[in-house]
Structure 1
Amino acid sequence: MAKVNSAALGNEPIGKLLLKQSVPASIGILVMSLNILVDTIFVGNWIGPTAIAAINVVLPVSFFIAALGMAIGIGGSSIISRALGADDYEKALKTFGNQITITVLCCVSLMIIGLIFIDDIIPVFGGKGEIFEPAKIYYRIVLYGVPILALAMMGNNVIRAEGKPKFGMVAMVIPSVGNLVGDYFLINVLDMGMTGAAWASTGSYILCFLYILWFFLSDYSELKINFKHFGIDLPILKEIGALGFVTLARQAVVSVTYLLMNNILFDLGGETSVTIYAIIARMLMFALFPVLGVTQGFLPIAGYNYGAKKPERVRESINKAIIGACLLALVVFSIIMIFPEAIVSVFTKDERIISETPPAMRWVFAAIPIISLQLIGSAYFQAIGKAVPALLLTLTRQGFFFIPLILILPNYFGEFGVWISFPLADVISTIVTGIFLNREIRLHLKPSEMTTVNTKYK
């Protein structure tokens, strides 16, 4: 029965598959984003605006380590999807075993390093002035649970590679609900402040991991590994690394972006500007949930059909994913443009923040309707195992364009230069991705080109 589920990726209508894969992914991302959003609202109202800025300082560090698990998960899942499509079951098992081994080794090592250099890391990421102490409290506790979160994020991507998105959705819902319940009791009822917020997050990571562990031990999973699969297989590890590095590089750039933004905005406007960015960053995570859901749903469909040598289905999945994601992004754009004041007032009652955040938010979201092409385009190359273009396209938006813009424009336009950098980077990166994707479709998605599955970009 499990075999039928993964085989459906190559047989069912693409539109139906996209809905089946994307809706659970979107719901899971929505709940997770709501968790981050409501968590920020709780912290802002029950602890104070400085606490919002403190969490924003810690996020790039903890997310980078957790993203290592996601990178290993996505990189290995691309291999698993294509292996299942090609009926190479043993390769799928070896890949999963290697994913677990490398996730544990890397993330535990990074957690230890992060705890040793805690007093040096926090100021570098913008934890200065009044922000430092609450950031340190939150950072130390959350970092304990980050390796568990990394394993959970890795496992969740493997669940989707098996063609079982509903289980992946539940895996995202459980920690979100757990974190919100924990926030209420630890912050509001027990008055534990930042310590309570941190333990609520760490406890939610453990709940997520336990659910994913249950899934792989149950009959629902196809991937029944044993001890021999945990041994390092260098060719598989190399392929996981090449494809996973795309996701890791993206998160590394996100972490660098947080570092630069927090420091630049602190110099321009102090704690208030850092808090404004923290609120906007939370909205970016939340508002793009339907687009990210379509992207997550698209990955196993494209990978499986590429592995099964069905170019027509791959092309159809690209077109329908882009159109659907663009329409959803347009809805998000409209809401942000019409109701920014109402949105900001939910986070805080500080009049200055309420008045200064909406204009900045409008600029940040100005080009969101077109960003879907960039996300789907870069995800496609990752799904089919072409690591080089996937890496380059992933880095275009924030690495190649956004970071240089925020380093240059504030010198001439002040804080406005920071906010205008967002839509400029979105537009340029979307154009570049469109050129690459169009070339790939014309040259490499033909029946003759699919007789052998390539893993290198020509």
Structure 2
Amino acid sequence: MADAPANAQAKFLTGSLFRHVVVMSATSSVGLMAIFLVDLVDMVFISMLGKDELAAAVGYAGAILFFTSSFGIGMAIAAGALVAQALGEGDRQKAGRRAATSLLYGFIFAAIFAALVWFNLEYLAGLMGASGLTLELAVSYLQIIIPTLPILLIAMVGGAILRAHGDARRSMMSTIIGGAVNAVLDPILIFGLDMELSGAAWASVAARFAIAFFALYPVIKVHKGLDKPTPSQFRIDLMAIVGIAGPAILTQLATPIGQAYVTRTMATYGEDAVAGMAIVARLTPVAFGMIFALSGAVGPVIGQNFGAGQYDRVRTAFREGLLFTAMWVGGMTVLLFLLRDPLVALFSAEGMAVTLLYLFCGPLALAFFFNGVLFVSNAAFNNLGHPFYSTWINWGRHTLGTIPFVWIGAAWWGAPGVLIGQAVGGVIFAGIALILAYRVMSLRKEPDQAPFARQGRLMSIMHLRR
């Protein structure tokens, strides 16, 4: 297959970087928020059943699902970075080959990971603090969803490949369709067939299959974005994939592990506190889905320009990502503050759940800016050849930046202090990430510093032979 011109495949090398960041974030976030909104509706439906243990079970299960989805996020980061860099170099064949090997390796690894988690569900849910009927409900919910982790991985990696091609619209549509499938099935299964929590789980399973299909189909049919690797190339690409995916998965796993400590600490304050935290956990991605999408959106912009040696545009894209984060978080915080009372009524929140909801819809929402700084910095690290920096920062943020601060916050202010302490730790590590990101970008001045060329002499030899 002949290589296409670089500009035909790498659309972020010219034009307004702020516009690229906004358009990519907006289209990606619409799809993300479709899924997150359905999760939020799930919580509303479950709250309508009037059983605290169901809402608490969703809270515990959510922490474990976050843990498993982190594997898919890490593989998606690797696929997106490798494909975007190859497209920036103008090498369409390499981009297609790396997309194919990322999907194949990811599916295999995800199947093994899902099996390990599935056989240890009761132990993991117990670690979160679940017990009794709540533990049984959380485990039964997870037993339905966890086996579909390889399907979720295909969906995530497929979406990342589409974004690397600059096709954020089709990536968005895949998740919107998945969200629609979930939204339609939720009331039918939860209420119509009286399946309660199991109905919500099966609706999520159907949504994962829908997203995977509609993400992978345009990669194959529209972009011709998969190129069959030879056995030797399949082995060689493992080095490049693991070189980014390994640190990225470790990076992503830090978040659910930190969240697990937060969940366990919150569990000491009762099921209404856990339910309140679960509501906040589902409101957060709906309110800040644009910022969650920013990491995946700004990554291809940075990756393509770095692959083309346009280092000034790399630094500008990073700054524009931070500016956009500040604008979105400020506006959304005001909106959340105005909607505090309707949200309390919507979820029929009581007791500590109300206190936590009011806290989130007030000053705590502003602290999400620092999460955005971490997201943009991680995108820079992953696309500039320093994925382990993301790993160090995230593990630091979710261990040293979480455990002592949550412990102190809980000792001083009880359940609200758990969320306050978690936010304070994020501020500190966002500052560290920002300094480190600017240091990395200041070193990127010479074209011969391509990050992935250093991942092994064997890869370089194969590239020259081709």
User: Is residue 257 from structure 1 mapped to residue 261 from structure 2 by the alignment?
Assistant: no
- Identity of counterpart residues, as a percentage? 20
Q: Given residue 449 of structure 2, which amino acid in structure 1 is its aligned partner?
A: T
* Equivalent residue number for residue 28 of structure 1: 31
Distance 1:16 1:121 in 2: 43
1:186 and 1:193 in contact (8 A); partners too: yes
Residues in 1 aligned to 2:341 and 2:129: alpha-carbon distance in whole angstroms: 26
Q: 1:321 to 1:125 in 2, by over 3 A?
A: same
Checking the alignment, whether the CA contact within 8 Å between 2:174 and 2:214 is kept in structure 1 is yes
Q: How does 1:415-430 map to 2 (within 5 A)?
A: 415-430=415-430
Which residue identity lines up with residue 228 of structure 2 in the other structure? Answer: N
Aligned to 1:210: 213
Q: CA deviation at 1:352?
A: 5.3
- The C-alpha deviation readout for 1:376-417, integer Å capped at 9, x for no partner, is 122111122222223223334323312332244424543243
Shift of 1:74: 0.9
Taking structure 1 as reference, are residues 47 and 142 closer, same or farther at Cα in structure 2, changes over 3 Å only?
A: farther
SS state at 1:382 partner: helix
Deviates more, 1:37-46 or 1:222-231: 222-231
| Among 157, 160, 165, the residue aligned to 1:157 | 160
Q: Which runs of 5+ in 2 are unaligned?
A: 456-466
Measure how far apart 1:230 and its partner are.
9.6
Q: How does 1:366-445 map to 2 (within 5 A)?
A: 366-441=366-441, 443-445=442-444
CA offset at residue 161 of structure 1? 0.9
Query: In the alignment, which of 78, 85, 88 is matched to residue 75 of structure 1?
Result: 78
- The one-letter amino acid of 1:450's match is P
Which amino acid in structure 2 is aligned with residue 283 of structure 1?
Answer: L
Which of 52, 65, 80 is the aligned partner of 2:68? 65
Q: Which amino acid aligns with 2:271?
A: E
The C-alpha deviation readout for 1:44-69, integer Å capped at 9, x for no partner, is: 11363322221221223233333312
**Aligned counterpart, 2:450:** 453
In 2 relative to 1, CA 258–389 (structure 1 residues): closer, same or farther, beyond 3 Å?
closer
In structure 2, distance between residues paired with 1:213 and 1:411: 49
Shift of 1:16: 3.0
Q: Which residue of 2 aligns with 1:238?
A: 239
Q: Which moved more, 1:196-205 or 1:70-79?
A: 70-79
**Within 5 Å, which residues of 2 pair with 1:258-407?**
258-267=259-268, 269-350=269-350, 353-355=353-355, 357-359=357-359, 362=362, 364-407=364-407
Query: Could you tell me how far 1:227 is from its partner in structure 2?
Result: 5.8
Asked whether 1:118 is paired with 2:121, we answer: yes
For residues 12 and 246 of structure 1, what CA distance do their matches in structure 2 show? 32
Does structure 2 retain, via aligned residues, the 8 Å contact 1:107–1:150? yes
Cα RMSD of the aligned pairs, angstroms, is 2.5
Q: Tell me if structure 2 keeps the 8 A contact 1:318–1:376.
A: yes
Matched position secondary structure for 1:400: coil
User: 1:413–1:96: structure 2 CA closer, same or farther, 3 Å change rule?
Assistant: same
Aligned residue in 1 for 2:176: 173
- Aligned counterparts, 1:90-109, within 5 A: 90-109=93-112
Please list every run of 5 or more consecutive structure 1 residues that lacks an aligned counterpart in the other structure: none
What is residue 459 of structure 2 aligned with on the other side?
Answer: none
Q: Aligned-pair distance for 1:70?
A: 2.1
Query: CA offsets per residue over residues 175-234 of structure 1, 9 Å max, x none?
Result: 11111111011112221111111100111111111212322331x124232263796324
Pair 350,412 (structure 1): closer, same or farther in 2 beyond 3 Å:
closer
Q: Which residue of 1 aligns with 2:223?
A: 221
Deviations 1:125-174 (A, max 9, x none): 22213311221221111112222112211111111111111111011111
Q: 2:277·2:353 contact (CA, 8 Å) conserved in 1?
A: no
CA contact (8 A) 2:285 2:292 kept: no
The CA distance in 2 between the partners of 1:195 and 1:416, in whole Å, is: 31
1:44–1:2 distance in 2 versus 1, CA, 3 Å: farther
Which one of 114, 129, 150 corresponds to residue 132 of structure 2?
129
CA displacement, residues 336-390 of structure 1 (integer Å, 9 cap, x when unaligned): 3343332232122545533553136535424224443332122111122222223
Deviations 1:255-289 (A, max 9, x none): 2123212221122x121111111111112222211
CA gap of 1:103–1:436, structure 2 versus 1, over 3 A, is: same
Shift of 1:108: 1.2
Tell me: CA distance 1:207–1:335, structure 2 relative to 1, closer, same or farther (3 Å).
same
Where does 1:132-143 land on structure 2 (aligned, <5 Å)?
132-143=135-146
- TM-score, structure 2 normalization: 0.89
In the alignment, is the contact (CA less than 8 A) between 1:246 and 1:394 conserved in 2?
no
How far apart are the structure 1 equivalents of 2:434 and 2:19?
Answer: 25
TM-score after normalising by structure 1: 0.91
Question: 1:86 is matched by which residue type in structure 2?
Answer: E
Q: Is the 8 A contact 1:93 1:225 kept in 2?
A: yes
C-alpha distance in structure 1 between counterparts of 2:220 and 2:5, whole Å: 14
Q: Give the aligned residue type for 2:124.
A: I
CA contact (8 A) 1:65 1:147 kept: no
The CA deviation at 1:43 is 1.6
Partner of 1:186 in structure 2? 189
1:28-67 alignment to 2 at 5 Å?
Answer: 28-46=31-49, 48-67=51-70
Q: Could you tell me how far apart the structure 1 residues matched to 2:355 and 2:405 are?
A: 25
| Distance in 2 separating the partners of 1:186 and 1:152 | 23
- Secondary structure of residue in 2 paired with 1:12: coil
Secondary structure of 1:232's match?
helix
**Counterparts of 2:62 and 2:353, CA distance in 1:** 21
Q: 42-51 or 327-336: which moved more?
A: 42-51
Contact 2:67 2:256 in 1 (8 A): yes
Letter in 1 for 2:311: P
Letter in 2 for 1:410: A
Cα distance in 2 between the residues matched to 1:109 and 1:230 = 23
How far is the alpha carbon of 1:291 from its aligned partner? 1.7
8 Å CA contact 1:406–1:418 kept in 2: the answer is: yes
What is the CA deviation profile of residues 408-442 of structure 1, one whole-angstrom value per residue up to 9, with x for unaligned ones?
4424543243122133112211211221123234x
Taking the aligned partners of 2:230 and 2:85, their CA distance within structure 1 comes to 22
Aligned in 2, Cα 1:227/1:367: closer, same or farther, shift over 3 Å? Answer: closer
